[in-house]
Amino acid sequence: MFLIVGLGNPEEKYAKTFHNMGFLAAADAAAALGAKFKKKECEASVAEGYSGGEKIVVARPMTYMNASGRAVKQLMAKYKLSERELVVIYDDYDLPKGHVRVRPSGSAGTHNGMRSVIAETGLTGFARVRIGIRPEDPTAPLIDYVLSEVKKEDYDLFAAACKRAAEAALAIARGEEIDLVMTRFNG
């Protein structure tokens, strides 16, 4: 079994913001599995699917970004998962917009949602798939920028990035070696 978590904020007003890239990628992952977000459990909206006979749970925490770790911790306990059975997808201001980067482990960097996941679970050895959102001219304060809506001219770029992020997360969940996933998706 594997858990894919897309970080974001649950209210409709955040749906098209940069900070919801994880939610959008999670929706793409669920769709690829033929699953729908029908269940609410562990402070998250959950979709369940199967690939190669293995169950994959895709979750979007309903706790807001800065408390995402609560839902992740609860889901991991419920399904009795190790950190190697978790992948988290989220936006990353430190990457150029539209870039996807896979890592087998690491720190939270500047991301408050990841800080929450690491603080609540006490884990850092889980895979993460980051979607770059950094603008060419980063002059706006970080919090204002991440909560702003993606511009129409960038929609296709970010839709493609979310789809690639979902594909990377699913490759990891299906047991593909992380180094191969990194080679295929990073760049």
**Coil vs helix vs strand at 52:** coil
Catalytic residue numbers, as ranges: 19
Domains in the chain (CATH in brackets) are 2-185 (3.40.50.1470)
Instruction: Write down the pLDDT at residue 187.
Output: 67
Backbone angles phi, psi at 17, to 5 degrees: -95, 165
pLDDT tens by residue, the chain, 187 residues: 999 999 999 999 999 998 899 999 999 999 999 999 999 999 999 999 999 888 999 999 999 999 999 999 999 999 999 999 999 999 999 899 999 999 999 888 888 999 999 999 999 999 999 999 988 777 777 777 788 788 899 999 999 999 999 999 999 999 999 999 999 999 6
Residue 31 CB neighbour total at 10 angstroms: 15
| CA dist., res. 24 & res. 9, Å (int) | 11
User: How distant, in Å, are the alpha carbons of 79, 138, 140, 142, 149 from that of 135?
Assistant: 38, 5, 10, 11, 13
> Facing residues of 54 across strands?
51
Interatomic CA distance for residues 179 and 187, integer angstroms:
13
Which pTM was predicted? 0.94
Task: Report pLDDT for 73.
Answer: 98
Task: Look at residue 13 in the predicted model and tell me its pLDDT.
Answer: 92
Rounded to an integer, what distance in angstroms lies between the CA atom of residue 12 and that of residue 74? 24
Query: Of 96, 52, 32, nearest to 6 (Cα)?
Result: 32
Region of residue 84 (left: phi > 0; alpha: psi -120 to 50; beta: else): alpha
DSSP string, 53-101: TEEEEEEEESS-GGGHHHHHHHHHHHHT--GGGEEEEEEEEEEETT-EE
- Two tokens, residue 20: 């919801």
